[in-house]
Structure 1
Amino acid sequence: MRTVSKRLALVLAFAASMAGAIANGWAADGPPAKELFGGVKLPTRAEPSSYGFYSKGCLAGAVAIPTDGPTWQAMRLSRNRRWGHPQMISLLERLSQDAAKYDGWPGLLLGDISQPRGGPMLTGHASHQIGLDADIWLTPMPSRTLSAAERENISATSMLDTKKFLTINEKAWTPGQARVIMRAASYPQVERIFVNPAIKKKLCDTWQGDRTNLGKVRPYYGHDYHFHVRIKCPADAVGCKDQADIPPGDGCDKSLAWWFTDEPWAKPKKDPNAKPAPKPKPMQLADLPKACSVVLKSPAADSEWAATYSPNGAAPVSALASPPQPAAAGSAIAAQMPDVPPADVPVPLPRPTGN
C-alpha cells in the first residue's frame, strides 16, 4: 500500500507540475503564433478592433488597402500584409492625397501594414500586429503602374551615405521626403513616426516649417529607406494598449545625440565563463491577449466584404477608390497589371466611392 501511495503521490505531483507548466504556456506549446497568424489569408468578418499592444496582439475586422489608388501603389504583394484597421487604411489614403496636393509628392509606395488578422509575422517585424502600423517607402512613386514582379523585386532607396556613418546621402534626400514625413506627423491620430537617426537629425537641422510635431518623429535602428507610421488606439478599442506618451520637446536634444555615440552600436561584451543563453522561445498564442484565440479561429470574411465593409453602416473607408466592379473571376485590379500576384494572395475588389 505504501508503494502504491508513493507512486500515486508522484503521479499527482507530476500532474500538478504539468498543469502549472501548461498554465504558463510551456508544455502546451504548439506552433509559434507567427506560423498561425502568418498562414491566414483573409480577415474575420467582424467589427474592427485592435487587441493588445503593437508588438503583442491581433486584429479583427481588418480591411485591405487597394493595390493601386490615385496616389499610392502597394508593394510586396505576395506578403499579404496590406491589411489594417480601417482608421489606419483611411489615414494612408488621406496622407497620399494630401502629400500629392500640398507637398508635391507624386504618391506613396506602401510597404507592410499588417496581416489579415494581425499577430506576429513570420519575417521582418516585431510590431505591425494590431493593424495600426504602416511602412511607407522614402522612394517617390513612379508615374507608371508597377507590375507585380517589379513590386516584388524593386529595392527601396536608402537615404544614407554608404561611406559615412549615419550621414544623409544628399543625392537621395530631398525636401520632398521631409515634407511627407512632417505631413504624416501633423495628423492628430499619429502617435509616432520612426526614422533612422540620421533622418531625424536632418529634420532637426533643416526643417523650417512648424516644429510642433517634430517630437513625434523618433530615431530608431534601420528605417533608412522607409518611415514607419504608428497611430493611436481607436477610441472604442477597449482591448488596445497605447504606447507611453512621447517626451515633451522636439527630440533634437541629448536623446538624439546619443545615437551618434558608440553606445547604441556596440556589441554586448560576452563573459567567456558564462553558460550559453537559452534560445528565445517563439511567441505562442497563449502569450497574446485571450481575444486573439477567437480572432484566429473565427470564420473568414470573403474578399469582397473585406474590401467594402464600413463600420456601423457609415460611409466606406475610402472616398478615393473607383466605383465597385462586378465580382468576376480574378480581380479587375490584378487584370490591369502586366503580370499578377500569386493565385493564393487575395486581391480585394475596389471599395465603392463615398463622402
Structure 2
Amino acid sequence: MLRMAAILILALGAPAAAEPLARELFGAMAKPSAQAPEAIGTYARGCAAGLEELPESGPTWQAMRLSRNRNWGHPEMIRFLKDLSLTARQLGWAGLYVGDIAQPRGGPMTGGHASHQIGLDADIWMLPPSRVNLSRAEREKISSISVRTEDQTSINGNWTRSHHALLKAAASDPRVDRIFVAAAVKVEMCRTAKRADKAWLQKIRPLYGHNTHFHVRLKCPQGSPSCQTQKPTVAQLSNGGDGCDETLQWWVTDYLEELRNPPKRKKPDGPPPKSAKTYVMSDLPRQCAAVLSSR
C-alpha cells in the first residue's frame, strides 16, 4: 500500500513538500526490482535495479544482522565478496562476516548510512571469523572488534598481519575504487608496506567511524550508464601515489585534535542541505521511480 501511494503521488505531480521520504519508500521494499541489474546515480544519491542477494551463509562467508535485510548488492559486488571471502580463507580466517551492502532496491536507508545506495558499497567486519555457521540469533548479538586505540592515534592488539594482507588483496582488485578504514589503520599500513609495492595503498582511505569494519566501494560496472563513480578518483586525490603523505598526517594531527576540541561554528543561514535522511523521490535520479514501482 505504501508503495502504491508513492506511485500515485508521483504520477499526479504532487509538490515535493507532499512527497514521502525516499528512505521510507525504499526501506519498505522487501525484494529487488524485476529489472536488469543496474547501479543508478551516485553512492549517496541513487538506487539500484535488479540487485542480487548475498546468500545468508556460504562456505566462506556469512551475512550479518539479517533483520536489516541489507544483504543485497549489484551482481559485481556479490561476486567480489565471494572472491574476497576465499582469500580470507587462504589467510587463515574461516571466511568473512559481511555487514550492510544495500537494501533490496538500494536507495536511501532508513538509518545508519549516507551511502550504500546503489549496491556497490559493502561493510566487512574486522572480526576474523572462527566459524561460518552462526545462527540468525547469534548474528544479531555478536559484535565486531575495533582495531584502533580509543584515542584513535594507533592500532591496537586486534590488528594482525592477516588484516593487512586481506586489505591489500581487496585494494589490488581492479573492481575496487576505494576502501575506507580508520586513520590509524592507514598509518600502520603505510609504515609496514614494502617500499617497492605500495601503489595499491592509494585506494586505502582514512575515514572516521571505520574502526570495526572496512568499507569497500566498487567502481561503476558495465551495464550501468547512469552510475557515477566517485570524483575525484583516488589516483587524483593522491596524485598517483600511495596516499602516505601530508594529507594522511593531517588526519592524525589536526583532524583528531578537532574531534577532541571542536571549534565553534556559526549556524549556516537558510535550510539545511538535503541528505539521505531528507531526500524525496524528486531528489533522486528519475529512473528510481521505475525501480520503486517494479514488481
TM range (shorter): 0.7 to 0.9
Structure 2 residue aligned with 1:211: 198
1:64-109 C-alpha deviation (Å, 9 max, x unpaired): 01111111111000000000000000000011112322x2332100
Aligned counterpart in structure 2 of residue 106 of structure 1, from 94, 100, 104: 94
TM-score when scaled to structure 1?
0.73
Separation in structure 2 between the aligned mates of residue 128 and residue 192 of structure 1, nearest angstrom: 14
Separation in structure 2 between the aligned mates of residue 100 and residue 144 of structure 1, nearest angstrom: 11
Separation in structure 1 between the aligned mates of residue 198 and residue 171 of structure 2, nearest angstrom: 10
Structure 2 residue aligned with 1:234: 221
State which structure, 1 or 2, has the greater radius of gyration over its C-alpha atoms: 1
Q: Trace 1:27-176 onto structure 2 (pairs within 5 A).
A: 27=17, 29-101=18-90, 103-143=91-131, 145-162=133-150, 164-169=151-156, 171-176=157-162
Q: Find out whether 1:286 has 2:286 as its counterpart.
A: no
Structure 2 residue aligned with 1:257: 249
Identity value in percent: 50
1:74 touches 1:110 (CA, 8 Å); kept in 2? yes
Q: Find out whether 1:223 has 2:210 as its counterpart.
A: yes
Structure 1 residue aligned with 2:264: 269
1:41-70 C-alpha deviation (Å, 9 max, x unpaired): 000111100110000000000010111111
1:99 touches 1:183 (CA, 8 Å); kept in 2? no
1:135 touches 1:226 (CA, 8 Å); kept in 2? yes
TM-score when scaled to structure 2?
0.87
Deviation at 1:207, TM superposition (A): 2.1
1:192 touches 1:231 (CA, 8 Å); kept in 2? yes
Deviation at 1:242, TM superposition (A): 0.8
- State the one-letter code of the partner of 1:296: L
- State the one-letter code of the partner of 1:214: L
Cα RMSD for the two superposed structures: 1.9
- State the one-letter code of the partner of 1:84: G
Partner SS, residue 242 of structure 1: coil
Once the two structures are overlaid, the 10-residue window that deviates more, 125-134 or 258-267, is 258-267
Distance 1:75 1:278, change over 3 A: same
* Aligned positions, number: 271
- State the one-letter code of the partner of 2:62: Q
- State the one-letter code of the partner of 1:284: V
1:11-69 C-alpha deviation (Å, 9 max, x unpaired): xxxxxxxxxxx89x643x32111000011000011110011000000000001011111
Deviation at 1:267, TM superposition (A): 2.4
1:73 touches 1:141 (CA, 8 Å); kept in 2? no
Deviation at 1:142, TM superposition (A): 2.0
Separation in structure 2 between the aligned mates of residue 160 and residue 98 of structure 1, nearest angstrom: 23
Partner SS, residue 59 of structure 1: strand
Separation in structure 2 between the aligned mates of residue 287 and residue 84 of structure 1, nearest angstrom: 22
Distance 1:174 1:32, change over 3 A: same
Separation in structure 2 between the aligned mates of residue 250 and residue 237 of structure 1, nearest angstrom: 29
